Structure 1
Amino acid sequence: MENTDKFGKRISIIGNEMPRGMVWDDTRAFLAVARCGTLSAAAQNLNVGIATLSRRIERLESALKLPLFVRQQSGYELTEDGAELIEKAEALEAAAHAFAVGADTQAQMSGHVRLATAENVATELILPELPAFRAQYPDLLVELVTDISTANLHRRDADLALRMVRPERGNVTLRALGTLGYGLYCSTSYELRRESNPDLGYYDTDDFITWGEMYSHLPAAQWIERILRGRRPALTTTSLATQVAAAKAGLGLALLPHFIARNSGLVCVDTDLGVDQPIYLVIQTDLAKSRRIRALADFLIDVVARNSERLGG
């Protein structure tokens, strides 16, 4: 016969059908009293009250429709029926223990976790820190998804994400971790041109490097569009890496995250632009208590906190 214990595990009871209403805690109580001989010793062993333990024994006897113990002043002595059930109760105990061990093993840091984030955040922020995480959790595979235009937690394309845009839908839990600061950057050569040319330096005559049409929704792209007021940019691209390269080549001004641009030898022209973005940790709500997800989430929280000054600029 098969039934389920309190963990939901299907357990076989050899040669005996488990009655309706029987629960694993009552069987534990039965074994404890049988082994200890008294309610007080068994209650101490299970870390429960004597009254609670007594109720469990009575509930089990009622469910089985059998007297399991003879109550004596010196303690509890098994009846013949109770003694015959010890082996089966121990089989149930072993099965429950095996299930608990299996569940614990499943909860160990193994398997994989899918993280979605922007490519620049992955390459400049997460990957340099990832060896320490790998050393701590060598059996946990991190799957890094940087094509965030297609990674959607609502569709379960990822388990968790670091994003600069607050999700508006989906069964997700989010936490603001910090701020991603932006500045207007250019090459040293372009800055010298601005300083030597009185017609430059007021943005309305500057050259700009911006995002292509499919990324026009980004705050940086929208800021530049407002500044250009219909003028054509010097260049449009589809990645931050090409914008950094274009700025280094002297093609114009680019609106870039500080932590990316400041490692590229570029000059910061302005920081008060109103385009800084919050950094959100977003997790599938039904996965938020998973130990694997929690481990990676805690790692990301720590990484952002330790790099807050660099990220905010």
Structure 2
Amino acid sequence: MLDWDDLRTVLAITRAGTAARAAETLGVHPSTVFRRLNAMERTLGVQLFRRLPDGYVPTTAGEEAGTVAERMEAEIAVLGRRLSGQDLRPSGTVRVTTTDTLVGLLQSDLPAFRREYPEIELRFLVTNRFFDLTRHDADVAVRPSIAPPETLVGRRVATVATALYASQRYLDEKPAEMDLAEHDWIAPDESLGQLPSTRWLAATVPAERIHIRANTLMAALEGTKAGVGVCPLPVFLGDAERGLRRLGAPLPELASELWLLTHPDLRFVGRVKAVMDFAAEALRRRRALFEGVGTDPAGGSENGAR
């Protein structure tokens, strides 16, 4: 007999491609994954995965088991959301997924949130990838997006303006008026391919002029501050750094949108609604910061966001 832990193991290996990465997803030791898989195959008398040098590939039996596991996972998630949706009290745990660029802004309002909702515990999941709220990886997502998943509901909080930045140290050697193709550049890597700035750089800047590629905007920001080159950055990041200079106004083609999202089954849960409403108000108060309104293209800002 297979139980849910067995099927979760099959599903994790199918998605991850290796037992080691599956163990990370499941939060167990790799030896536990090996042991479970070997025990399942012995019990069933069938091989579920082919062990190849570069990973695990499901057999026909493994694909069938994975399909059943995926269906069960979806049903369990639906049940969990429906049961959670019956809880209207503003108490319990809310998991908020956001980016490393936004978590500081969100946490700056935590003292006020704690005073208003002392029985809600927040857990921040900081990552640049979009967690699957359908599988209940998180309850609330706060992140920039041009096209948020249609399976989620929420509200658009602000436009996220993006401009080109460089350090004064860099500009002392290479004037801002140079042709774009002659500058040295810092760019997001392929893991941030959803950003308009990533696509703009690929279409505008010769690949040989890009000297650093980073998988987070915070890493790109540090390279820009060090004087490596020019980098497109959200204005709420770039304008906050005294050592950086904005090379002109924000570029419309680099703009994104800031969204506050949750799953439809969770929108009326008391604790989730409390987080959504509080975060929406807190972020809207910073709308000028996100949209670069009233800021000085030469660096610094008029709204105190320096």
TM-score bucket (shorter structure): 0.5 to 0.7
Residue number in structure 2 paired with 1:269: 247
Shift of 1:179: 0.9
CA distance in 2, matches of 1:176, 1:116: 16
What are the equivalent positions in structure 2 for 1:112-191 lying under 5 Å apart? Answer: 112-123=93-104, 125-149=105-129, 151-165=131-145, 166-170=147-151, 172-191=152-171
CA distance in 2, matches of 1:142, 1:234: 38
Among all aligned residue pairs of Structure 1 and Structure 2, give the percentage whose two residues are the same amino acid: 26
CA distance in 2, matches of 1:213, 1:280: 22
SS in structure 1 opposite 2:112? helix
**Contact 1:145–1:151 (8 Å) recurs in 2:** no
SS in structure 1 opposite 2:210? coil
CA distance in 2, matches of 1:231, 1:156: 42
Residue number in structure 1 paired with 2:283: 304
CA distance in 2, matches of 1:112, 1:307: 26
**Contact 1:107–1:290 (8 Å) recurs in 2:** yes
Residue number in structure 1 paired with 2:172: 192
Post-superposition CA distance 1:87-134 (Å, at most 9, x none):
xxxxxxxxxxxxxxxx9x9633221111111111112x1011111101
**Contact 1:244–1:264 (8 Å) recurs in 2:** no
Shift of 1:145: 1.2
Larger Rg: 1
CA distance in 1, matches of 2:265, 2:128: 21
Match of 2:184 among 186, 198, 207: 207
Residue number in structure 1 paired with 2:264: 285
**Contact 1:186–1:253 (8 Å) recurs in 2:** yes
CA distance in 1, matches of 2:291, 2:267: 27
CA distance in 2, matches of 1:112, 1:135: 16
CA distance in 2, matches of 1:227, 1:186: 17
Shift of 1:213: 2.8
CA distance in 2, matches of 1:148, 1:228: 24
Residue number in structure 2 paired with 1:21: none
CA RMSD in angstroms comes to 2.1
Shift of 1:149: 1.5
When normalised by structure 1's length, the TM-score is 0.61
Change (3 A) 1:272 1:147: closer
**Contact 2:158–2:257 (8 Å) recurs in 1:** yes
Shift of 1:148: 4.2
Structure 2: segments with no counterpart, 5+ residues? 1-83, 293-306
CA distance in 1, matches of 2:87, 2:211: 54
Shift of 1:262: 1.5
| 2:102 aligned partner, one-letter code | V
CA distance in 1, matches of 2:134, 2:240: 35
When normalised by structure 2's length, the TM-score is 0.63
Post-superposition CA distance 1:232-254 (Å, at most 9, x none):
40111112222111111111001
**Contact 2:187–2:198 (8 Å) recurs in 1:** yes
Change (3 A) 1:148 1:208: closer
SS in structure 2 opposite 1:138? coil
